[in-house]
């Protein structure tokens, strides 16, 4: 292959190399930074990102992918789609209103937040039931002009497409889908016209919903929308961008009147290649090929990527190829530059956002034939690095031995429930929390002192025990029925376990955005996962020694550990999950042997790993359920297994959730409580369940009556004898005062509801 193709980026991490973005946001929210200074500093960070991508050789640099919270929320704000509860009166959306939608305010709860397709990024769900859309500010144009005027960069504006935006929204009946897309299309057309008039040459319109299963009616809406958009700005080169899977309805999509089609040749490689071979690609159109993995951190074998490019170039000439990551790089850390402690073999096999763009530059040099020996050696070095990790003793290649492992409880739930009621003697509508309590600055400082070696193990243990003692006392004073130890020893619900299991590694600066300013540092599963000793027994047993009330052991489940880690890609995800499950089973057994009779194994990420195509879902659910049961089925019948899930659309998961066979499940639902309750009107669930009665992601403290109303609505469709009362998620990110106040209101609401049920 001897040709030139264009290098593009679909999006770059927002958080900055040192999480400057997060720090700016939290300083602004805390009132420590004025709005003018906040916006000035955010502009600096925004421009630094663009300059960095230019330095790395990107030719089509995305602009407009930067956000102050979430890119979908930005789209809602751009079109004035602000629910009436925020008191919005039209015009540009203020920062106060914008952040109220994201985080809630004293006057109004936040908008619903849910996962961006099957990733661990959360977006703010648009609400289309009230406001009539109108263009109140052309954000892509502002981003384009800023890049051009400040840096001389002729950027590629990025926006969420109208089809995907409405697909991801709520507050409307399905029969209005076409109508709502049609309402938005003229506004998108105006955005594109103004970009064309400003001199923009390329624009990226993200339509990831095109990789999901689509109906003929939806495809008709898609075709109508893009016909109108094409005629609105005929001189603008539109890239219709898909990612995360193979595009559905390939023949329809490639015939849309756009200049380029973006396809994922990593996570959708098999399906997209098959379609490309079978149906070809239209003459005159450009293929934007995502060949570098934008969702995982492994270095590419560039020899294999070069072969893929050669195969693509045999169908689409190099001059009509754009080469790019498979999706936005917001899902990976920024740079490997500060990683100094990883094993050399592992470090050599990693690539973060900056390194991934560097890989594209090497491929471009090799394709043009001007890279010489340096490009050839870079390609050979990548192949050696990947092979070295695969040959590491940490990777045995052996599948988890699950054939003889026990994966079902001895008695069915109905019989276990009677035994557990006798053992625990809990009141009707028992109250509990999900697990974590506030991680204060004092807690974080103590952990830092211990990690730096400035505190001994004994000093740190004493500190953690004092925190547990305080919060056991607070929980008893509040009146909760089932207590937790608070997880003060844990940085993160996945990282904590990864640090204590074989097969995991940890970066120093591998942060990625989860939601808002919340950044996480996912563990790296690079080798075989094995149990190496008890992980939670010490703190849980200490907490139980302080109270006569039951204290739950708190574990993170195997599928969540998988989905919230960067996972090795040399064996199947199923086999990795089974390895984790068998390791966790030994921890469950250790807790039970130490006298802990309630054990919560959280699976908040079960649904987010659900494949985007219906045909692939049951296989995933089968091994996901099996892994949970492998971890939890060895306990006695009187031991109560709890679990917790986030953002779960209950109606399409009910069979799998029931098959977990947990004695109690709590579901994070406060931002979409009504939708979930409506699901129970047509579905049944016959095990213990707690629907989160207040939103922990917002700093507001809901009053008793608000929670009582939620409880009452749930009890209209759920049996009181199986219903638990809890917040909708862990309380790690909240402050102590608001946590105590909200829990007191929750217990008061539960007490009042209990009295009503007993009448």
Catalytically active residues, by annotation: 697
Strands 237-241 and 202-206: parallel
519 annotated among ligand-binding-site residues: yes
Question: 523, 506 in Cβ contact below 8 A?
Answer: yes
648 annotated among ligand-binding-site residues: no
Tell me how far CA of residue 38 lies from CA of 22, 67, 675, in angstroms.
Answer: 12, 13, 37
DSSP-H helix ranges across 170-234: 177-198, 216-232
644 annotated among ligand-binding-site residues: yes
487 annotated among ligand-binding-site residues: yes
Strands 723-724 and 664-668: unpaired
80 annotated among ligand-binding-site residues: no
260 three-class SS: strand
222's tokens: 């898609």
668 annotated among ligand-binding-site residues: yes
Could you count the other beta carbons within 10 Å of the beta carbon of residue 402?
17
The single-letter DSSP state of residue 93 is P
21 annotated among ligand-binding-site residues: yes
Rounded to the nearest 10 degrees, the angle between the axes of helix 302-313 and helix 353-368 is 50
Question: 568, 526 in Cβ contact below 8 A?
Answer: yes
734 annotated among ligand-binding-site residues: no
Tell me how far CA of residue 450 lies from CA of 211, 354, 363, 535, in angstroms.
Answer: 47, 32, 44, 17
51 three-class SS: helix
Q: Sort 277 into a burial class: Cβ within 10 Å, 0-12 / 13-18 / 19+.
A: exposed
User: What number of residues does the chain have?
Assistant: 759
Question: 633, 143 in Cβ contact below 8 A?
Answer: no
Query: How would DSSP label each residue in 483-540?
Result: B--B-TT-S-TTHHHHTTEEEEE--SS--EEEETTEEE---EEEEEEEE-S-SSHHHH
Q: Which residues pair with 483 in a beta bridge?
A: 551
- For residue 591, give the nearest of 646, 547, 661, 531 by alpha carbon: 531
Half-sphere exposure in the Cβ direction for 595 (13 Å, CA): 12
Measured CA to CA, the distance from residue 51 to residue 153 in angstroms comes to 9
327 annotated among ligand-binding-site residues: no
Residue reference for tokens 């069979």: 655
**370-378, Cβ contacts within 8 angstroms, sequence gap of 24 or more:** 378/302
Question: 156, 62 in Cβ contact below 8 A?
Answer: yes
356 annotated among ligand-binding-site residues: no
Strands of the sheet containing 723-724, edge to edge, are 553-556, 598-602, 640-646, 664-668, 688-691, 723-724
713 annotated among ligand-binding-site residues: no
Tell me how far CA of residue 735 lies from CA of 23, 438, 543, 660, in angstroms.
Answer: 17, 6, 21, 33
4's tokens: 């030139």
644 three-class SS: strand
608 annotated among ligand-binding-site residues: yes
209's tokens: 């919903």
Question: 38, 28 in Cβ contact below 8 A?
Answer: yes
DSSP-H helix ranges across 644-725: 654-659, 673-679, 704-715
168 three-class SS: coil
CA 145 to chain centre: 31
26 annotated among ligand-binding-site residues: no
CA 133 to chain centre: 28
602 annotated among ligand-binding-site residues: yes
Binding-site residues for 5-methyltetrahydropteroyltri-L-glutamate sit at: 19-22, 115, 120, 518-519, 564, 608
Binding-site residues for Zn(2+) sit at: 644, 646, 668, 729
Binding-site residues sit at: 19-22, 115, 120, 434-436, 487, 518-519, 564, 602, 608, 644, 646, 668, 729
Binding-site residues for L-homocysteine sit at: 434-436, 487, 602
Binding-site residues for L-methionine sit at: 434-436, 487, 602
């Amino acid at each position: 292959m001897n040709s030139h193709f264009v290098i593009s980026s679909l999006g770059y991490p927002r958080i900055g190399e040192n999480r400057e973005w997060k720090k700016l946001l939290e300083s602004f929210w805390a009132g420590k930074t004025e709005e003018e200074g906040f916006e000035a500093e955010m502009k600096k960070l925004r421009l630094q990102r663009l300059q960095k991508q230019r330095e790395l050789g990107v030719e089509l640099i995305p602009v407009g992918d930067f956000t102050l919270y979430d890119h979908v929320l930005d789209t809602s704000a751009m079109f004035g789609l602000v629910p009436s509860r925020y008191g919005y009166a039209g015009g540009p959306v203020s920062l106060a209103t914008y952040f109220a939608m994201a985080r809630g305010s004293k006057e109004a709860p936040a908008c619903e937040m849910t996962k961006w397709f099957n990733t661990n990024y959360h977006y703010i769900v648009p609400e289309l039931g009230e406001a009539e859309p109108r263009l109140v500010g052309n954000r892509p144009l502002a981003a384009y002009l800023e890049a051009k005027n400040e840096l001389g960069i002729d950027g590629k504006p990025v926006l969420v497409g109208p089809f995907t935006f409405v697909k991801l929204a709520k507050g409307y009946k399905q029969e209005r889908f076409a109508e709502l897309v049609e309402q938005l299309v003229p506004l998108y057309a105006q955005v594109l016209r103004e970009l064309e008039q400003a001199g923009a040459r390329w624009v990226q319109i993200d339509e990831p919903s095109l990789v999901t299963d689509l109906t003929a009616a939806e495809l008709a809406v898609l075709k109508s929308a893009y016909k109108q958009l094409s005629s609105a700005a005929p001189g603008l080169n539109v890239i219709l961008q898909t990612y995360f899977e193979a595009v559905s309805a390939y023949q329809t999509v490639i015939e849309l009147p756009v200049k380029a089609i973006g396809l994922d040749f990593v996570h959708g490689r098999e399906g997209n290649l098959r379609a490309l071979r079978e149906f070809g690609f239209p003459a005159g159109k450009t293929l934007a090929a995502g060949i570098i993995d934008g969702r995982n951190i492994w270095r590419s074998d560039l020899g294999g990527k070069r072969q893929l490019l050669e195969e693509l170039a045999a169908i689409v000439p190099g001059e009509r190829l754009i080469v790019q990551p498979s999706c936005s790089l917001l899902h990976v850390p920024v740079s490997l530059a500060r990683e100094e402690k990883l094993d050399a073999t592992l470090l050599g096999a990693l690539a973060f956002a900056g390194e991934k763009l560097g890989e594209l530059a090497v491929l471009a040099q090799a394709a043009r034939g001007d890279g010489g020996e340096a490009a050839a050696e870079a390609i050979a070095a990548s192949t050696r690095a990947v092979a070295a990790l695969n040959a590491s003793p940490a990777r045995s290649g052996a599948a988890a031995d699950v054939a003889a492992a026990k994966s079902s409880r001895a008695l069915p739930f109905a019989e276990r429930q009677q035994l557990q009621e006798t053992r625990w003697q809990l009141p009707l509508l028992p109250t509990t929390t999900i697990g974590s309590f506030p991680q204060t600055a004092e807690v974080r400082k103590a952990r830092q002192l211990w990690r730096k070696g400035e505190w001994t193990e004994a000093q740190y243990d004493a500190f953690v025990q004092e925190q547990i003692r305080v919060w056991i006392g607070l929980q008893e004073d509040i009146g909760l029925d089932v207590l937790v130890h608070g997880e003060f020893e844990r940085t993160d619900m996945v990282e904590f376990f990864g640090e204590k299991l074989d097969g995991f590694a940890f970066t120093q600066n591998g942060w990625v955005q989860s939601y808002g300013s919340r950044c996480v540092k996912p563990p790296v599963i690079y080798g075989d996962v094995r149990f190496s000793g008890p992980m939670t027994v010490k703190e849980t047993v200490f907490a139980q020694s302080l109270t006569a009330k039951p204290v739950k052991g708190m574990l993170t489940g195997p599928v969540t550990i998988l989905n919230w880690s960067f996972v090795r890609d040399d064996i199947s995800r199923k086999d990795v999950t089974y390895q984790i499950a068998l390791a966790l089973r030994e921890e469950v057994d250790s807790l039970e042997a130490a006298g802990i009779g309630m054990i919560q194994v959280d699976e908040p990420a079960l649904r987010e790993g659900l494949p985007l195509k219906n045909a692939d879902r049951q296989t995933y659910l089968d091994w996901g359920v099996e892994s949970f049961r492998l971890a939890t089925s060895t306990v006695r019948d009187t031991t109560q297994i709890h679990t917790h899930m986030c953002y779960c659309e209950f109606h399409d998961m009910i069979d799998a959730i029931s098959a977990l066979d947990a004695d109690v499940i709590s579901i994070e639902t406060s931002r979409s409580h009504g939708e979930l309750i409506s699901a129970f009107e047509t579905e049944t669930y016959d095990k213990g369940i707690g629907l989160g009665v207040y939103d922990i992601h917002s700093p507001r403290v809901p009053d008793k009556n608000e929670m009582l109303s939620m409880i009452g609505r749930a009890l209209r469709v759920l049996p009181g004898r199986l219903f638990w009362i809890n917040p909708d998620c862990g309380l790690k990110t909240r402050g102590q005062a608001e946590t105590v106040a909200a829990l007191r209101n929750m217990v008061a609401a539960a007490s009042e509801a209990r009295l009503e049920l007993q009448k």
